[in-house]
Chains A and B, each alone.
Chain A
Amino acid sequence: MDDALLVVLLLADATIRVATPLVLAAFAALYSERAGVVDIGLEGKMLAGAFFAAAVASSTGNPWLGLGAAVAASVALALVHGFACITHKGNQVVSGMAINILVAGLAPTLAYAWFRQGGQTPLLPGEARLPQIHLPGVEALSGIPVLGPVYRELIDDANVLIWLTVLLVVATHWLFTRSRFGLRLRAVGENPAAVDTAGLSVTRLRYQAVIITGVLTGIAGAYLSTAHGAGFVRDMTAGKGYLALAALIFGKWRPWPTLFACLLFAFTDAVQVRLQGVPLPVVGVIPVQFIQMLPYVLTVLLLAGFVGRAVAPRASGVPYVKER
């Protein structure tokens, strides 16, 4: 019984660790896309965040400065995206793609030149990584069945960014349903002309949205290199930006379903690690690749309307042109 509980807890723990950057990136895109700016450049912004977090943390020894650098770099890229898509009404998909390719080249180039370790940053010592939060009362609760182990394995010693992500989810839900700013962001993604008529600046709102996207993708990147990992390695994001985008679509551009999608995708990842080579009843051994492709297949099926229906914000991807 205890063993089974432990396995479940370890799976849940792994799921949360993998899900955190996904949630951060997917919620980042949520802001941008609900405001009508499509962002397929999550991957690039995360990668920039991961690199600058590790680079600064490694040279200063301070992970918080690293986090700041990650956010700054990622916001800078978000502003490039905004400049191209909002100010110059450029193609949003092309801009996102450009940012992804640019950073995929830039991060290893700078890493190679600055650290001379083949495109990596040096391994970060413990104090240069973002800390885990140790909670009181682990000993006191350890005697209680179920609650004790759950508290010890799952909740105690979680990274500070995991807690931040939990806050973010709640805050985002509140923002999009209760706050004036959130409702305006939603409006600008559905019907920018109406927002404009109400005397609000579409440009300003959309810039605010992409800046939030930049902040969150920067944090997601910092999580990868200074919280979950201990340094930047080449291709560190490994498609997580695209997976987050899939999660956002799977969550139909809404906060709670998006969170659920991130957890589901992370869970398949955690399960896949455990299932390698283990025969299952009825189906036998499932090749890991089939489990790995599951999130992408599910997203395609959902988008095609075979399982449910995902409808994007109406003005998504369309630059706003004030009447002339």
Chain B
Amino acid sequence: MAQDAAQGVTGRGFGRPPGAIPGWVGYALLPLLNLIAALALSGLVILVIGENPLDVLALLVTEAVGYPEAIGYTLYYTTSYIFTGLAVAVAFHCGLFNIGGEGQAYLGGLGAGLVGLALTGWPWPVAALGAVALSALFGAAWGAVPGWLQARRGSHIVITTIMFNFIAAAIMTYLLVDVLIRPGSQSPETREFDPGVWLPTMDRALGWVGVAIPASPLNLSFLWALACCALFYLFLWRTRWGYEIRTVGRNERAAVYAGISPARNIILAMAISGALAGFVGVNEIMGVQHRILLNFTGGVGFVGIAVALMGRNHPVGIILAALLFGVLAQGGGQVSFEYPTVNRELVMVIQGLVILFAGALENLFKPRVEALFRRRSEGRGGGHDGGAAHG
């Protein structure tokens, strides 16, 4: 079930019907329409609670990109959203819907944090590499097991990944309360790592080359996120493995006839997906918190679904969508300080509506918009073009 459903998302999102519909309709216009619909409905919610939606939106954007420090915060949120957006997207490309990004990111944070705890006194590049490796390993393991269960035992990946989110939460609570807790501490978190192994913040790193920017949680993991986008593109569209994954996602039966093993690729795609989600731990734990704590993921795995849907599962789209949600997260948090009636959960309303319009209701605007463009191109192209479009 999950597979067929997820195939719908990727398959239809990418399937360009024959005729004269320009590519940007699918990649730019439709996401924009979806966003406008989501924002309009969120505006209604703001009206209901008695504020002016345009004022709130203007303040939100100013607080997110209006001054350098805010941009740093926005990009810090964007970093995690890129990781989880890529994670959801790679699974989508294999026809799988990975709702387990939350749990995979949580365990990725455990991996990164264990490196931070263990490498006291080491130089930070070593710790950074170690954190990337171990967070990827932990996240990949937490993704690959549901992948294996789907591929070899036929379990719904959607259900299994939901269950794995809860299992991950329980394991992390146990570890933080009973095992890793700082001795003598009341709150369930580890000790702070040695400052020498912290992942440098962007302001510090740019300070080395003489560029001064205001301090913010934005750290070097942002560059790793951008690198992951490039690697994601190369892997999916320029390697044999990526080709195999996409083939399985498009048509599992055709893949079998082509000698491609669906099971192997499902497990591989889920492992990569989990590893990407796990990198959230590098940003959050090594870059910002510098200790392992409860619930540091805060729904980032679910935002990844919105990011992947908006970004059409393509790295460039994912960067833009992650930026959008970064703006919402940072701006939304700030708006709640200015308006006593608005709180930051309002951002989740927008996220939910984006997922609804860009994902579940993707067929709401698409046929109408495409019909509009088909009619227009027929009117303009006259005889030969119109004939081809009708087929």
Contacts and interface: CB of A to CB of B under 8 A. Distances in A.
Interface of A: 38, 40, 80, 83-85, 88-95, 97-106, 108-110, 112-114, 116, 119, 239, 242, 245-246, 249, 287, 289-290, 292-293, 296-297, 299-300, 303-306, 312, 316-318
A4 to B, nearest CB: 30
B149 A300 contact: yes
Contacts of A109: 45, 49, 342-343, 345-346, 349
A305 B156 CA distance: 12
Interface in B132-186: 149, 153-156, 158-160, 162-164, 166-167, 170-171, 173-174, 177-178
B259 interface: no
Interface in B328-379: 340-343, 345-353, 355-356, 359-364
A91 to B, nearest CB: 5
A91 B163 contact: no
B124 interface: no
A90 B355 contact: no
Given A239-B166, A290-B170, A304-B149, A94 B360 contact: yes
Interface SS, A side: helix
B359 A290 contact: no
B48 interface: yes
B192 interface: no
Contact of B1 (A104, A112, A312): A312
Contacts of A304: 149, 153-155, 160
B220 interface: no
Contacts, number: 184
A298 B346 CA distance: 35
Contacts of B355: 94, 97-98, 101-102
23 contacts: A38-B1, A40-B158, A88-B361, A88-B363, A91-B5, A91-B359, A93-B5, A94-B359, A97-B359, A100-B352, A103-B352, A105-B349, A105-B352, A106-B45, A106-B349, A106-B352, A113-B50, A116-B340, A116-B341, A293-B171, A296-B166, A304-B155, A312-B156
Contact of A93 (B2, B174, B347): B2
Interface string B84-114: 0000000000000101000000000000000
A104 B351 CA distance: 10
B346 A105 contact: yes
B348 A101 contact: yes
Nearest to A44: B352
Contacts of A292: 170
Nearest to A285: B178
B21 interface: no
B338 to A, nearest CB: 14
Given A93-B2, A112-B343, A312-B1, A245 B170 contact: no
A97 B305 contact: yes
A312 B345 CA distance: 35
Nearest to B149: A304
The 7 closest A-B pairs by CB, nearest first: A105-B348, A102-B352, A95-B360, A317-B1, A113-B49, A94-B359, A101-B352
